[in-house]
Amino acid sequence: MKQKETGSMRQNRLIANTIVHTILTIMSIVWLFPVVWIILESFNAKPDSGSSSFFPQHGFSLESYRVLLTDNRQFMFTRWFGNTFLVALGTCLLSTFYVLCVSYTLSRLRFKGRKGLMNVGLILNMFPGFMSMIAVYSILNTVNLVEKLTPLIFVYSAGQALNYHIAKGFFDTIPRAVDEAARIDGATRWQIFTKITIPMSKPILIYTVLTSFMAPWLDFIFAKFMLGTKYEKYTIATGLWTMMQKEYIRTWYGRFTAGAVLVSIPISLLFIFMQKYYVEGMSSGAVKG
C-alpha cells in the first residue's frame, strides 16, 4: 500500500517537474527573445527598420558598429559616450559624498530638527521628479548654464542626495557601542565618521558609487530637456532615443541596435555585480518600509 502511493507520488512529481520546466523554458524564451534579437540585429549586414522579419536576411557583419564608431558627421556616438562617462563620473563622486553625509548624519547624529528634515525629504520625494524641470531650466538659464554638461552633474547629485534611505538603513545597523567606545577614547565625531564608520561601510559605499554612476546612463527626460537639440552635448540615452525617432529611424536603425548593445554591456555587468546589494536594499525597504 505504502509502496504504491510513493509510486504515484513520484509520477505526480515527474509530471509537475516537466510542466514547471516547460513553463520556465517558454518564459525564458519570451524574456530573452528581445535581448537575442537586438544582438542579432546589431550584426545584421543590411539593417532595415521596415523589415518584417525578425532575423537578418542578408548575413552578418560588423558594419553597424564600424559606422557608429567612426562616422561623426551627424550623430557622434563616441562623443556621447565620453559625455555620459564624464557626467557619470562627476555625479558618482559628488552624490556619493552627499549620500554618505546625509545618511550618516540622519542615522548616527542626534540634533534638533532631524525628524523635520527627514519629513521634508519624504515630501520632496513624492512630487513627480520632473515636475520641477521647467523651474530648474529657468534657474540654470539665468546663469547661462543650459545646454552644458556640468549642471547635469549638480542636478543629478541633488536628486541622489534624497535617496539616502538604503545607506541610512545600513548605518542604522552598525552598533552604537562602536561609536561610544571611540568617543570615550577621545575621538571627535568627524574622526568616528572618517576613521571608523567609512572603513566599515564598504558594501554600502560600493552600492552608492555604482547606483549614482549608473543614473546618468539611464536618465533620458531631464538630459533631453536640458540639452535641447545640441547634439554634441548629448548623453547616450538622449542620443539613442533621437536615433529611433521617425525622421532618423530609417537610416539610423542599425546603428541604434549597435549602440544599444554597447551601452547595455557595461550597465548589465554593473547591475549583475551589485545585484546582491540591490536586493538587500529593496527587500529591507520591503520589510522595514
Partner 1 sequence: MGKKIKNAKFPKINLLKEAWKNGDLFTKLAFFILGIGNIARKQIIKGLIYLAAEVGFIFYMIMFGVTALSRFDDLGDVETGRVLDEARGVYVQTQGENSLKLLLGAIFACIVIAIFVVMWFKSIQSSYNAQKLQEQKKCVNNFRQDLADYFDSKLHFTMLFLPVLSIMIFNILPLIYMILLAFTNCDQNHQPPGHLFDWVGFKNFGQMFNMNGKIGRTFFPVLGWTFIWAIFATFLNYILGMLLAIIINRKGTRLKPMWRTFFVITIAIPQFVSLLLMRHMLDMHGPLNGTLESLGLIHDPLPFWQDKTFARVTVIVINLWIGMPYTMLVTTGILQNIPSDLYEAARVDGAKASTIFWKITLPYMLFVTTPKLITDFVGNINNFNVIFFLTNGAPLTNDYYQAGYTDLLVTWLYSLTVNSFDYNRAAVIGIFVFIISATLSLLTYRNTASYKDEEGFS
With CB under 8 A as the contact rule, the residue among 5, 8, 111, 185 that binds partner 1 is: 111
- The Cα–Cα gap between 222 and 216 comes to 10
Secondary structure (DSSP) of 164-186:
-HHHHHHHHHS-HHHHHHHHHTT
- Minimum separation from the CB atom of position 199 to partner 1 (A): 17
Residue pair 106/118 in contact by the 8 Å Cβ criterion = yes
Residue pair 99/204 in contact by the 8 Å Cβ criterion = no
Which stretch in 56-64, 77-85, 200-208, 271-279 sits in contact with partner 1 by CB under 8 A? Answer: 271-279
Contact between 114 and partner 1 per CB under 8 A? yes
Site for partner 1 in 22-81 (CB under 8 A): 23-24, 27-28, 30-32, 34-35, 37-38, 49-54
Site for partner 1 in 155-184 (CB under 8 A): 155, 157-159, 161-162, 172-176
With CB under 8 A as the contact rule, the residue among 1, 126, 202, 247 that binds partner 1 is: 126
Cell numbers 536576411 correspond to 57
Query: Which 8-state DSSP code applies to residue 62?
Result: S
Q: Going by C-beta distance under 8 Å and a sequence separation of 6 or more, which residues neighbour residue 62?
A: 43
Comparison of 197 and 233: residue with beta carbon closer to partner 1: 197
Tell me the number of residues near partner 1 by CB under 8 A.
97
Which stretch in 60-68, 74-82, 84-92, 106-114 sits in contact with partner 1 by CB under 8 A? Answer: 106-114
What Cα–Cα distance (Å) separates residue 48 from each residue in 52, 119, 174, 211?
9, 52, 56, 35
| Ranges of H-type helices in the chain | 2-42, 63-70, 77-108, 114-126, 133-142, 150-161, 165-173, 176-184, 189-191, 198-200, 202-218, 221-227, 236-243, 246-288
- Minimum separation from the CB atom of position 233 to partner 1 (A): 18
Which stretch in 20-28, 68-76, 195-203, 204-212 sits in contact with partner 1 by CB under 8 A? Answer: 20-28
Site for partner 1 in 184-223 (CB under 8 A): 188-190, 193, 217-218, 220-221
Comparison of 74 and 268: residue with beta carbon closer to partner 1: 268
Cα–chain center distance at 64: 26
Comparison of 158 and 200: residue with beta carbon closer to partner 1: 158
Name which of 120, 100, 118, 121 is nearest 110 in CA terms. Answer: 118
What x/- string results for residues 227 through 266 when contact with partner 1 is judged by CB under 8 A?
Answer: ----------x--xx--x----x---x--x---x--xx--
- Minimum separation from the CB atom of position 279 to partner 1 (A): 6
Contact between 144 and partner 1 per CB under 8 A? no
